[in-house]
Each structure stands twice: as structure tokens, then as C-alpha cells.
Chain A
Amino acid sequence: MANELLGGIERAVIEKRDSLLVRSTLNGDKNAFARLMSLHKQRIFALGISFFRNEADADDFVQDVFIKAYTHLASFKGNSLFSTWLMRIAYNTAINSVNRRKEYLPLSDEEILVSSDSTPEEQQIRQLTKDAVRDAMAELPEKYAVCLDMYFSYDIPYQEICEITGYPVNTIKSHIFRAKKILRKKLEELVK
């Protein structure tokens, strides 16, 4: 219950913050756009790594995405979170890019998900979660791997994943459900 409430507050604060920054950017404040980039760059870079598999191309991809976002910022109406809108631009840019690798590299294989400020217990839980996501991905058609990453690593809900990728929401839901079951089993083993 408390978790739900805090989740709602967090989402509302993020929504308000991003819409204020978007409005300031549209009024010509470049610093506001710099703040938006600072807040969302890590996610776009991570998506770039998954599609391009090297930092130089991922960096070019980040620049490409943010320049597109800046150019089309006036079309952001606030119907979804700014992060979802930005991820949709990023996903379409990656899919349409000629440089991208054919196979998607799951984020669970990457060191980008390592956080330096975690306790050993947190690191263990994070590792188990990465393993669970990877196990679930192994049983999936490859194109759905990105959906699991979006849910678990990018913290995006089902409907928004559907808006970004265009995959049916029920398919996304069932793949994520399977991943959650694997995760639960792994976490049960941890406490035993």
C-alpha cells in the first residue's frame, strides 16, 4: 500500500518536473534542455548499447535522439511521461538505423546496470534479477527481449512498452509474467 502511494507520488513529481523543463525549453531555456538530457541520457545510452554494441555508436545514437527530441519538442503534449515519449523516439531511431546490429543485446549482459552505492545484499538481489530476466529472455523470440528490459531495467509499465514498441500488450504482459515467476523462484532460493 505504502509502496503504491510512494510510486504514485514519485510519478507525479517526475511528470511535473519534466513538464516544467519541457515548457522552459520551449521558451528558449537551453539549460532546461540540458537538465532533461542529464536526467534521461543514461537510459538512451543503455538502449544504444543494446542495439549498437559499442560506446562510440551509442554516443552518436544519444546525440541523434536528443537532437530529434529537441526538434520535435513542441509535439510533446504531455499525454504520456516525457521519458516514454523520448524512449519512443529512441526505439524508432534504433530500429530504423542502418548501423544497428541484427541481434538485440540484453541489458542484463551489460555492466551498465551496476550501481556503486549498493550493499552486498542489494548487489546479490540485483544479480539474481538480472539472471532471472536473462533466463526468461532465453525462452523468448528475440524481438521481445527489449520488452523485458523495458519493464525491469527501464521501469516502464506494460501499456507504455506497447506504445513504444507497438507489440500487443497481452503478449508483453505474458512474457513479463513468465519472467516474474522465474524471478520469484530465484528470490525464494535466496532466502532459504
Chain B
Amino acid sequence: MDRYLELDKGERVPIDVTLHLLFCKKCRRDVSLMSRAEKLLSRPLKIPVPLTDTTIENILRTIDPQFSDISLKNPISMRNWIISGVLMILFMFVFIFSRNISRNLDVAISLVFAGCVITYILTFVFSNIDFFVKKISTLKTAA
């Protein structure tokens, strides 16, 4: 167990320690509790403060006296993401089923649609990356 305690954050657990943990229920429970405890203690400092926080606004005004706090509002709400996603899919269905397209063009159009869907998903993920980071942290705590 001491060898496990010497490990750094994110450091790979040596194979012999892993094997020991597989067979020793007590150490496995201790390791699980330890990593949960460490996660729980650091969690509060990872919570983002709102963008409209006074200190943040003051700093932005110091950096740029022309700064306006209106630009800090989140431009895209979840409702708009869902509506635009559904509209995009509807448009694709309508387009595909309402026209007679040659086979060559069919492949090209499918590629364009696939590109649109990938771009939409990537934009969604990177615009809401905090949510996904938090989700991974929660999974890590649970594991």
C-alpha cells in the first residue's frame, strides 16, 4: 500500500501493485476511498465562477476601458442548440427524400451532410466544454 501512496497524481500504477489490488479487497477499498477523498477535496476549487462576476468585469475594464459586459452573455442557449440540431436533421431528411439524385451526387451530398453533422457536434462540444470536463470528473470520482 505504501508504494501506492508514493504515486503522484495520474501516475501509472505499477503492475505488481495492480495485481495486489486485484486480490486484496482491503487495499482496493482503501485506494478507492483515498482517490475519492482527494477528488472531493479539490472539487470546490474547480467550480467556475459566473462570467458576470464583479472581479472579472473589473479586470476586463482595466485591460480594455471600452469593454462592455453585454458581450459576456452566453450567446447560444441549450434550447437554440436543440432547435438548430433538429432543423438540420429535418432539412437533411426532406432533401434526401424529396429529390431524385444521381448516385455520384448522392455520395457527395452524404459527405457534405456528414461534414455538417461533425462540425455541429464539434462546435457543440467545444462551446460546452466545461460541462464535459465536469462529466469526466464525476465519472472519475465514481470510478
Contacts and interface: CB of A to CB of B under 8 A. Distances in A.
Given A2-B143, A4-B12, A67-B63, 20 more contacts: A1-B13, A3-B143, A6-B136, A8-B10, A38-B50, A43-B45, A112-B45, A114-B44, A115-B47, A125-B36, A125-B37, A129-B37, A129-B38, A154-B45, A156-B9, A157-B10, A173-B8, A181-B5, A183-B34, A184-B34
Interface stretch (B84-92, B100-108, B113-121, B126-134): B126-134
A43 B49 CA distance: 10
A33 B143 contact: no
B137 A10 contact: yes
B9 A180 contact: no
Contacts of B44: 42, 112-115
Interface of A: 1-4, 6-11, 13-14, 17, 20, 30-31, 33-35, 37-39, 41-43, 46, 59, 62-63, 66-67, 70, 112-115, 118, 122, 125-126, 128-130, 133, 151-159, 173, 177, 180-181, 183-184, 187-188, 190-191
Interface residues of B, number: 53
Contacts of A113: 41, 44-45
Interface string B66-77: 010001100000
A33 B12 CA distance: 34
14 contacts: A2-B143, A13-B132, A30-B71, A35-B51, A42-B46, A43-B45, A125-B40, A129-B37, A151-B9, A155-B42, A157-B10, A180-B34, A181-B2, A184-B5
